[in-house]
Structure 1
Amino acid sequence: MGEWPSQAVNSFRTRALPEPATPVGYAALIAAFDLALPLPPRLAAIAERHHPVATADWLLLTPRHRPDPNLAAQLTFAIKWEGIDLAVLAKLFQNVEIATITAVIKATPTGIFARRIWFLYEWLTGRQLDIPDAGKIKYTAVVDQEQQFCLDRGEPSPRHRVNNNLPGTPSFCPMVRRSHLLVEAEDKQLDAQARAQIGRVRPDLIARAAAFLLLNDSKSSFAIEGERPSGNRAVRWGQAISEAGNSALSIAEFDRLQRIVIGDARFVRLGLRDEGGFVGVHDRESGDPLPDHISARAEDLTDLVEGLVAYAARARAGGLDAVATAAVLAFGFVYIHPYVDGNGRLHRWLVHHALAAADYNPPGLVFPVSAAILRRLDDYRAVLESYSRPLLPEIEWKRTAKGNVEVLNDTAGFYRFFDATAHTEFLYSCVEQTIVEDLPAEVAFLEAFDRFSQGVQEIVDMPADRIEILQKFLQQNDGRLSQRARTREFEALTDEEVVQVEQLYGDAFGQRE
């Protein structure tokens, strides 16, 4: 064990502080025990003045909040002020002697924070401390719901007299902080907004809008991967998206979905990987891997994916926020990267699954989240890299004979536990965009198209498919029928009819255009 931080510094493990301050809580535990893991997105420190300014990266508190330089005080401070960071705690408990942690609990065996630490130690390690059950005292929650997203309905642990409201299991349990952005997003009740919108629109229009949004989401999910699927392939994946939430998750279900995504599997191994994996490229000359992200080890995949499945079931039963659930499942899956190919589309399918399973979206309607992501690819990549980039230096690996990577250290914990706050903030913004912009825009388009179609029929008898082509030509040429269209596809229209059609288009679509 090293020394507890005792003086103000300007940076901590290359992360700059906004002003000189002494790292405490999880930062102090990381420093004192030299824990090897990506730094939590937000750490705590004690400033030298009484009115410090906190930032997104640092919670700065006043000198009167300074904890004593010992394990019990720093652990208590961390849980009280920073919430539950399972990644740090799991690493810490691997490095602390069982007698030491036992002494911490026995010093205040009925204390609220001591019981939470006690439960978390036994929950994470699977080892039972030599401490008698807590007895008949008031229950306390493991997770403070004011700080982090947790279950509305957990289960009691009589031994520790705590209510286990953690959203997952020791196999997979990323956490989400209640940031200012997420509190605001929750308060908007976007699911209720979507239902209110649907209630004001004719059912036939909703059905047509739903069909378009579904296919658009399917195509967008492929486009994010740089693919342009055939019409049949996009429709098949759209069908899989429409069925999301109907069945419980399982490895077998993921395998089935991968087969749909891949289509022609002659050159791709189906099922969970049996070797290492990475996202990146190879050096053109040496063939060495140049990873941007290194996936979980093959030997850890079954436990990690089963943990993700258990998280989904536990979150649904316990009333966890639907968008937070979707973000954790989706981004957790893509970091694990359990398959050789198809991970990205399955990752986005999981968003639809979590929202549908929680009845977040109106029945029969898919929020085109992939389309929103496609419009914000830079933000999407930044969110992915917010964890994968700091994770990369913590993974020891070597090149295999086939040009793959072989991971040399135990990395399972990196994929079990991470802070998914930024991921949830991003997903909430995408969901809001689909509800506030995409859904109303598609309904407005359909209403305008119906007005245009009915008007055209009053001018000239024209089949529905020709009206669709006519509308597209007008849309592509700012409401005017091009000379090419007038001399080819629509040469039968008279000059007077062309003027009427163009005026009709302007009346129907002009305001929207």
Structure 2
Amino acid sequence: MVENDQNRSTYRLAGYAALIERYDLDVIPNWHRSLVTTSGIRRIDSSEGIVREIYPPRYWPGDTLGDHLEFALKYDGTNLAILASLFREVAEEDFLEYVRSKPTGKYARRLWYLYEFLTGKRLPLDDAKRGNYIDLLEPDEYYTVTPARQVRRQRINDNLLGDRRFCPMVRRTDTLRDFETADLPKRCRRVVSSYSPELLRRALGYLYTRETKSSFEIEHIKPTSTRTERFVALLQLAEQEDFCEKPRLIELQNRIVDPRFRDSDYRTNQNYVGEAIAREKERVHFAGPRPEDLADLMEGLVAAHKRMDVSEVSAVIHAAVIAYGFVFLHPFEDGNGRIHRFLIHNILARRGFTPGSVMFPISASMLKNPANYDASLEAFSRHLMALVEYSLDEEGRMTVHNDTARWYRYINMTPQVEALFGFIDQTIDMELARELKFLANYEETKRAIQEIVDMPDRKIDLFIRFCLQNNGRLSARKRASHFDFLLDEEIVRMEQAVLSAYGSSVLDDD
């Protein structure tokens, strides 16, 4: 195919774009689209998250399958989902011809390995006898596991984050490089170090409750006190125990949902997320994988978790890949979103990203930035739903008619990792710092009030809350109903204690 611009220059598709057109593939678009011009210079533009790069004529790779595969790996990156779709369609002999023409070439060996990895078929080729071992993914371009698994057949270091059942990809973007150099754990420790261990111990219970309420509120759920206590109890275990295995995930689901919706296994029916837009009409935002694909995908998710758990991959990469992977697989009827957010805590805490004396109220950041949180989910679901062929019966039951498993197996999770880093950044500088400062001020105010009037803690808490709700002053109505026993002079001094601790920017945090 050729593309023409206003100057009548001619462009030819190259790499994945050429192969997608040649083999008529339905795929989630690659983040990078390549074209080669017949005249002109190299230039780049981007739109809706896709980089479009135009190369001068000398970059034209040739016309064969192998030519465009090599070009794709060099310039478009490694896209497992597109390769999985492509290898279903290409003639095996065409692929063999390419590999045999370059038996020691690094791109040929990588593609040979990926062909067998993605298809599960062993090609009629002898094992490579020569050549150094090479990394499957370039560590400068992708986040990878170390140490890698050496594969003797192609003399490849398999440094993928997962296996063929579930293997997300995360590119080293400029955004992620900046977050890496920001040293978020150090910034978190610096915030926490400003406060005494006694205050941090008291703050922890508050932060657990705040996180629980925020996580439920994201889904517009008002939990009962019992469900809140159960979720808090789970968060308290997050630092010590690994919940990313099937029995523990089922236990999690059972403890956080209404007892009537507890599951004893992964779901056996097709689920989806949607909304009614008219009578007997529903808009579907997301469909989970087919039930017959789910067990294999979830085993792959757990295996990827275990692989990253013993590697040097960043704790945030690990947490994002597993937590977002979980919610995209949607293995239960209810509770998937809350478990997804719990897994973020579980992995960050166990990997030592967060100090043991504190917990990230990360759901509060998600709740305050709903557009960013929704965008992190839609970065996958928007493209996915263009490929899922489904029908809904009169009772709203969904049936998926095409094979969709590869889209869930090989997700580009770069947008989700960037989003999680962003939420963590906001949590450290806004939510965590703000909450600890608020609680420190609260402790200071309580001590000052107790020196003025020796009241029960419950009364002091009520007085502070009423003042914070009313710009630092106790309203006449609240005084008459709750504090008519206080003298005018005592009220003035107690109000001054609140204003001294919080300044003029008193807030209602209920």
TM-score range, shorter chain: over 0.9
Partner in structure 1 of residue 121 of structure 2: 127
- How far residue 307 of structure 1 moved from its aligned partner, in angstroms, is 0.7
List gaps (5 residues or longer) in structure 1.
Answer: 12-18
Contact 1:45/1:58 (<8 A) preserved? no
Aligned AA (1:104): Y
1:42-92 per-residue CA deviation (whole Å, 9 max, x = no partner) reads 333335531513324114143133322221121111111222111001111
- How far residue 259 of structure 1 moved from its aligned partner, in angstroms, is 0.6
Alpha-carbon distance in 1 for matches of 2:331, 2:238: 19
1:359-399 per-residue CA deviation (whole Å, 9 max, x = no partner) reads 21112432111111111112211221122122112111223
1:274 to 268, 273, 285: 268
Contact 1:335/1:415 (<8 A) preserved? yes
Contact 1:105/1:114 (<8 A) preserved? yes
Partner in structure 2 of residue 174 of structure 1: 168
List gaps (5 residues or longer) in structure 2.
Answer: none
Alpha-carbon distance in 1 for matches of 2:314, 2:59: 32
Alpha-carbon distance in 2 for matches of 1:401, 1:365: 49
Aligned AA (2:258): G
Partner in structure 1 of residue 40 of structure 2: 49
The answer on 1:75 being equivalent to 2:69 is yes
Contact 2:200/2:357 (<8 A) preserved? no
Q: What TM-score do the two structures reach when normalised by structure 2?
A: 0.93
Deviates more, 1:128-137 or 1:298-307: 128-137
Partner in structure 1 of residue 256 of structure 2: 261
Aligned AA (1:264): P
Deviates more, 1:502-511 or 1:105-114: 502-511
Contact 1:26/1:75 (<8 A) preserved? yes
Alpha-carbon distance in 1 for matches of 2:463, 2:299: 52
Alpha-carbon distance in 1 for matches of 2:368, 2:243: 30
Q: Which runs of 4+ in 1 moved over 4 A?
A: 267-270
5 Å-filtered alignment, 1:251-330, equals: 251-265=246-260, 270-282=264-276, 285-286=279-280, 289-330=282-323
RMSD: 2.0
Q: 1:154 to 1:108 in 2, by over 3 A?
A: same
Contact 2:128/2:153 (<8 A) preserved? yes
Aligned AA (2:355): P
Aligned AA (1:220): S
Partner in structure 2 of residue 32 of structure 1: 22
Aligned AA (2:77): G
Partner in structure 2 of residue 16 of structure 1: none
- How far residue 331 of structure 1 moved from its aligned partner, in angstroms, is 1.7
Q: 1:20 to 1:296 in 2, by over 3 A?
A: farther
Alpha-carbon distance in 1 for matches of 2:199, 2:5: 59
Alpha-carbon distance in 2 for matches of 1:366, 1:100: 55
5 Å-filtered alignment, 1:159-238, equals: 159-238=153-232
Partner in structure 2 of residue 493 of structure 1: 486
1:141 to 104, 119, 135: 135
Alpha-carbon distance in 2 for matches of 1:123, 1:473: 63
The answer on 1:366 being equivalent to 2:396 is no
Q: 1:418 to 1:200 in 2, by over 3 A?
A: same
Aligned AA (1:405): M
Alpha-carbon distance in 2 for matches of 1:289, 1:86: 32
SS at match of 2:385: helix
- How far residue 282 of structure 1 moved from its aligned partner, in angstroms, is 4.6
Structure 1 vs Structure 2: percent identity of aligned residues? Answer: 34
SS at match of 1:367: coil
- How far residue 240 of structure 1 moved from its aligned partner, in angstroms, is 1.3
Contact 1:242/1:364 (<8 A) preserved? no
Q: How many residues align?
A: 499
1:444-479 per-residue CA deviation (whole Å, 9 max, x = no partner) reads 112211221111112111122211111111100001
1:256-310 per-residue CA deviation (whole Å, 9 max, x = no partner) reads 1111121322x56553211111111356533x55311111101111101111101
Alpha-carbon distance in 2 for matches of 1:283, 1:506: 49
Contact 1:258/1:270 (<8 A) preserved? no
1:211-257 per-residue CA deviation (whole Å, 9 max, x = no partner) reads 22221111111111110001221121122123235125222211111
The answer on 1:437 being equivalent to 2:427 is no
- How far residue 356 of structure 1 moved from its aligned partner, in angstroms, is 2.1
Alpha-carbon distance in 1 for matches of 2:203, 2:222: 22
1:481-508 per-residue CA deviation (whole Å, 9 max, x = no partner) reads 1111221211122111111112221111
Alpha-carbon distance in 1 for matches of 2:449, 2:288: 56
Aligned AA (1:28): A
5 Å-filtered alignment, 1:367-382, equals: 367-382=360-375
Alpha-carbon distance in 1 for matches of 2:94, 2:347: 41
Partner in structure 1 of residue 89 of structure 2: 95
Alpha-carbon distance in 2 for matches of 1:212, 1:9: 61
